[in-house]
């Protein structure tokens, strides 16, 4: 297990505060957060490559029971793929991949076998003699991965490696990362601000905000049960409302909201969040769906978003955001000012308390 | 309409560039064309001319090599590190470009003054400045160094620091990272810096004449022939200096270009 314990780092007015993370061996762990939340700085602290002006006032890093905190980067048994990939432009693809071999004690035959295995797995056979500027973005990314993986690291750190790729290459890279993870059994730590990417790749992760870890656990849980307004908004649960709690009932203005077992998270919630895709149009979608919360409202705005409609509905002074398939507009009268009936299940209401 | 405007724009640029091109090429062209072939041949067969040209080349290249050896680490530090007083150091490096060159000669001569610590040390080491190769190379290094350091610094700055981080994360230490990653990528600027430094050194006159009239460098010989015998006798030596310099710099630039990957 990779354990980060009580980490505090200062860097030019920014601070990583009290970072505590446990990343299990073989896990694909994601560190999420908006730009400037400290994700990349945390990654640099893990590999031991902090900027010169960073001050690490406390904190320890362990792999299993061995402390890594004072070890130089190359002795930590980790590899990192930076956002810009950092391929050496004056070296061929093959020399890029072999760059680190002379600094690691690996058996010669093993090295060649691993080199050939990676070249095959990553489909680099045809480009070994080319220079990085002559290969595509996706190929560059695979070279950067091969260069790290050939050294048999225990942990591979990925600093937003997909952000520089076009969407088709991103999909391909995601599938490749997933395959590498399952085939090689290496621990991956991914830094990203893209929730879709993380949902596809990771089981577990943490969300960072202003240098702190604000929620960690199963990605699915973070997505469905955000524990703060920030996380709720970050993961795209557009409907975040302040609520009051009275005699076992959650009230949002004049609307009474049914929830499912909110006491598991907090006894007296003062916020709720509902994902926009969980709000359904009652007149057209399956009415047998358990929609314990049913309301009527007027459409205030409609936007097209990919193949969905983002619909803003005002009900009793509360603005709901719903994400409906495009064909809904064929089934119900959907235009600005139209009256619609909508609802959501009580199990889709996430109640939490925020100070 | 756009192409018309664009061609007018380019024509204007060309017209405004003409006086500069004229100023650069006309005097030099006239100078190179002035001596006859027999005058040029006669000049190069003179032992005094050969010795001064060779001396100029050797001392300028020595100054360039000293600049590379000691200027490269400084250029790297200036490109990569921030420290208190960095601006002052950068200003100091540019100083030889700004001050009159006889002043540089006088300052270098001041090093050997017997009542100074540096003078006593030089005397103890048996090093003389006045009228020696040591003095000439010191002066040429002083005037050429800013050109080398600024070019090498720009080269190091053009290498992304992230490549060095990647190299170290793959296990390379700082020395290996410098020699395997940074230097090969900054190489072209370093060679260009050498060209600039050599060019500056080979053309130096004002500071050299203060420190060492003898042994005579080519610019001093040209000056001496001009003052003693007139324009006609100085021109062939000047042409040879120009030709040798052009050949040297073309070779160095070719070397820099051939190091670039195609």
At B205-254, the pLDDT tens digits run 999 999 999 899 999 999 999 999 998 899 999 999 999 888 888 887 78
- Is A345 a residue whose pLDDT tops 80? yes
DSSP A349: -
Set of chain B residues whose Cβ sits within 8 Å of the Cβ of A99: 167, 170, 172, 180
Set of chain B residues whose Cβ sits within 8 Å of the Cβ of A90: 184-185, 261
Q: Please list, in sequence order, all residues whose beta carbon lies within 8 angstroms of the beta carbon of residue B96, skipping any fewer than 6 positions away.
A: B104, B142, B143, B145, B146
Same domain, A109 and A212: yes
Average model confidence (pLDDT) for chain A?
87
- Please tell me the predicted confidence (pLDDT) of residue B262: 38
Which pLDDT band holds residue A289 (cuts at 50, 70, 90)?
Answer: low
CB A311 within 8 A of CB A247: no
ipTM of the complex: 0.80
Average model confidence (pLDDT) for chain B?
90
- Please tell me the predicted confidence (pLDDT) of residue B240: 94
| CB within 8 Å: B165 and A86 | yes
Same domain, A236 and A335: yes
- Please tell me the predicted confidence (pLDDT) of residue B2: 53
For residue A21, list its beta bridge partners. Answer: A4
Same domain, A217 and A233: no
Which pLDDT band holds residue B160 (cuts at 50, 70, 90)?
Answer: very high
CB A249 within 8 A of CB A332: no
Same domain, A244 and A109: no
Which domain-ending residue is among A179, A199, A224? A224
- Please tell me the predicted confidence (pLDDT) of residue B116: 83
| CB within 8 Å: A49 and B168 | yes
Same domain, A199 and A288: no
- Please tell me the predicted confidence (pLDDT) of residue A249: 79
Nearest CA in chain B to A152: B170
Q: Please list, in sequence order, all residues whose beta carbon lies within 8 angstroms of the beta carbon of residue A154, skipping any fewer than 6 positions away.
A: A25, A63, A77, A78, A186, A187
Same domain, A133 and A236: no
- Please tell me the predicted confidence (pLDDT) of residue B123: 84
Residue A88 forms contact with B (CB below 8 Å): yes
Which pLDDT band holds residue B52 (cuts at 50, 70, 90)?
Answer: very high
Which pLDDT band holds residue B261 (cuts at 50, 70, 90)?
Answer: very low
Same domain, A218 and A253: no
Mean pLDDT check: name the lowest of A81-95, A318-332, B28-42, B218-232: A318-332
| CB within 8 Å: B160 and A84 | yes
Which pLDDT band holds residue A283 (cuts at 50, 70, 90)?
Answer: confident
Mean pLDDT check: name the lowest of A24-28, A147-151, A269-273, B186-190: A269-273
Span A111-132, average pLDDT = 91
Q: What is the CATH number of the domain that holds A330?
A: 2.40.50.100
| CB within 8 Å: B169 and A79 | yes
Same domain, A67 and A204: yes
Domain that holds residue A292: 229-352
- Please tell me the predicted confidence (pLDDT) of residue A184: 86
CB A115 within 8 A of CB A147: no
Span A129-154, average pLDDT = 92
Nearest CA in chain A to B181: A88
- Is B198 a residue whose pLDDT tops 90? yes
On the CB side of A174, how many CA atoms lie within 13 Å of its CA? 18
Which domain-ending residue is among A200, A224, A248? A224
Locate A151 and state its tokens.
């050294």
- Of the candidates A89, A103, A131, the beta carbon closest to that of B185 is on A89
Same domain, A174 and A282: no
- Please tell me the predicted confidence (pLDDT) of residue B77: 95
Same domain, A32 and A162: yes
Which pLDDT band holds residue A193 (cuts at 50, 70, 90)?
Answer: confident
User: Which among B217, B235, B188 has a CA at the least distance from the CA of B60?
Assistant: B217
Give CA–CA dist A266/A261, Å, rounded: 9
Give the minimum alpha-carbon distance from B190 to chain A in angstroms, rounded to a whole number.
16
| CB within 8 Å: B162 and A84 | yes
Q: What is the CATH number of the domain that holds A159?
A: 3.40.50.300
ω before B215 within 30° of 0 (cis)?
A: yes
Chain segment A217-269, per-residue pLDDT in tens: 999 999 988 989 999 999 888 899 998 887 777 888 888 888 886 655 667 88
- Please tell me the predicted confidence (pLDDT) of residue A214: 93
Same domain, A127 and A249: no
Locate A246 and state its tokens.
């009275």
What distances in angstroms separate CA B139 from CA A43, B183, B196, one per listed residue? 50, 27, 15
Domains of chain B: 36-258 (1.10.3720.10)
Residue B171 forms contact with A (CB below 8 Å): yes
Number of domains composing chain A: 2
**In a mutagenesis test of the B interface, which of A78, A95, A99 is the best target, namely the one with the most B β-carbons within 10 Å?**
A99
Span A123-145, average pLDDT = 92
- Please tell me the predicted confidence (pLDDT) of residue B258: 65
For residue A239, list its beta bridge partners. Answer: A274
**In a mutagenesis test of the B interface, which of A86, A87, A98 is the best target, namely the one with the most B β-carbons within 10 Å?**
A86
Residue B86 forms contact with A (CB below 8 Å): no
Span A270-299, average pLDDT = 80
| CB within 8 Å: B165 and A49 | yes
Which domain-ending residue is among A224, A257, A278? A224
- Is B122 a residue whose pLDDT tops 50? yes
- Is A346 a residue whose pLDDT tops 80? yes
Give CA–CA dist B257/B262, Å, rounded: 9
User: Which among B67, B170, B229 has a CA at the least distance from the CA of A49?
Assistant: B170
- Would you mind telling me the total number of residues written for chain B in this entry? 262
Same domain, A143 and A182: yes
Q: Please list, in sequence order, all residues whose beta carbon lies within 8 angstroms of the beta carbon of residue A234, skipping any fewer than 6 positions away.
A: A32, A33, A34, A195, A207, A209, A226
A134 alpha carbon, distance to own chain's centre: 31
- Please tell me the predicted confidence (pLDDT) of residue A142: 92
Residue A116 burial class via C-beta count within 10 angstroms: exposed 0-12, middle 13-18, buried 19 and up: exposed
């Amino acid at each position: 297990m990779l354990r980060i314990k009580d980490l505090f780092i200062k860097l030019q007015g920014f601070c990583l505060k009290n970072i505590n993370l446990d990343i299990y061996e073989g896990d694909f762990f994601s560190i999420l957060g908006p730009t400037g939340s400290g994700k990349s700085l945390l990654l640099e602290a893990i590999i031991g490559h902090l900027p010169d002006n960073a001050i690490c006032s406390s904190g320890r890093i362990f792999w299993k029971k061995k402390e890594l905190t004072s070890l130089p980067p190359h002795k930590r048994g980790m590899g990192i793929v930076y956002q810009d990939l950092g391929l050496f432009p004056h070296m061929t693809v093959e020399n890029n991949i072999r760059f680190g071999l002379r600094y690691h004690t690996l058996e010669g035959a093993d090295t060649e076998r691993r080199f050939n295995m990676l070249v095959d797995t990553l489909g680099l056979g045809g480009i070994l003699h080319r220079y990085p500027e002559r290969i595509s973005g996706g190929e560059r990314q695979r070279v950067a991965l091969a260069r790290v993986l050939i050294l048999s690291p225990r942990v591979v750190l990925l600093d937003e490696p997909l952000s520089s790729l076009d969407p088709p290459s991103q999909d391909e890279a995601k599938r490749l990362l997933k395959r590498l993870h399952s085939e090689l059994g290496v621990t991956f730590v991914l830094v990203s601000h893209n929730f879709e990417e993380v949902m596809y790749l990771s089981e577990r992760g943490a969300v960072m905000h202003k240098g702190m870890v604000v929620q960690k656990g199963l990605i699915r849980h973070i997505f469905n049960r955000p524990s703060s307004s920030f996380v709720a908004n970050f993961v795209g649960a557009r409907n975040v409302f302040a609520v009051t709690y009275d005699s076992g009932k959650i009230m949002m203005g004049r609307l009474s909201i049914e929830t499912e077992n909110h006491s598991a998270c907090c006894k007296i919630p003062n916020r709720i969040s509902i994902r926009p895709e969980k709000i359904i149009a009652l007149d057209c979608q399956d009415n047998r769906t358990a929609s314990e919360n049913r309301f009527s409202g007027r459409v205030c705005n409609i936007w097209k978003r990919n193949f969905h409609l983002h619909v803003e509905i005002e009900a009793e002074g509360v603005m709901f955001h719903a994400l409906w398939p495009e064909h809904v507009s064929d089934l119900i009268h959907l235009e600005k000012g139209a009256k619609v009936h909508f609802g959501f299940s009580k199990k889709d209401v996430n109640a939490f308390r925020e100070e | 309409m756009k192409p018309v405007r664009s061609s007018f724009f380019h024509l204007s640029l060309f017209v405004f560039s003409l006086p500069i091109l004229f100023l650069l090429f006309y005097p030099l062209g006239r100078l190179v064309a002035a001596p006859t072939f027999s005058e040029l041949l006669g000049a190069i067969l003179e032992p005094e001319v050969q010795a001064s040209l060779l001396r100029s080349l050797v001392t300028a290249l020595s100054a360039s090599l000293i600049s590379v050896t000691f200027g490269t680490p400084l250029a790297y530090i200036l490109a990569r590190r921030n420290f208190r007083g960095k601006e002052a150091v950068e200003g100091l490096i540019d100083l030889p470009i700004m001050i009159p060159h006889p002043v540089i000669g006088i300052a270098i001569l001041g090093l050997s003054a017997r009542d100074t610590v540096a003078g006593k040390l030089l005397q103890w080491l048996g090093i003389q400045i006045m009228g020696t190769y040591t003095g000439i190379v010191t002066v040429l290094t002083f005037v050429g160094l800013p050109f080398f350091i600024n070019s090498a610094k720009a080269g190091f700055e053009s290498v992304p620091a992230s490549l060095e981080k990647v190299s170290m994360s793959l296990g390379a230490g700082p020395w290996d990272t410098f020699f395997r990653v940074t230097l090969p990528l900054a190489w072209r600027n370093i060679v260009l810096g050498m060209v600039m430094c050599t060019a500056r050194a080979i053309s130096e006159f004002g500071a050299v004449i203060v420190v060492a009239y003898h042994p005579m460098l080519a610019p001093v010989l040209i000056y001496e022939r001009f003052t003693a015998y007139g324009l006609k006798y100085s021109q062939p030596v000047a042409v040879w200096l120009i030709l040798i310099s052009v050949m040297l710099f073309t070779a160095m630039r070719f070397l820099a270009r051939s190091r670039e990957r195609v």
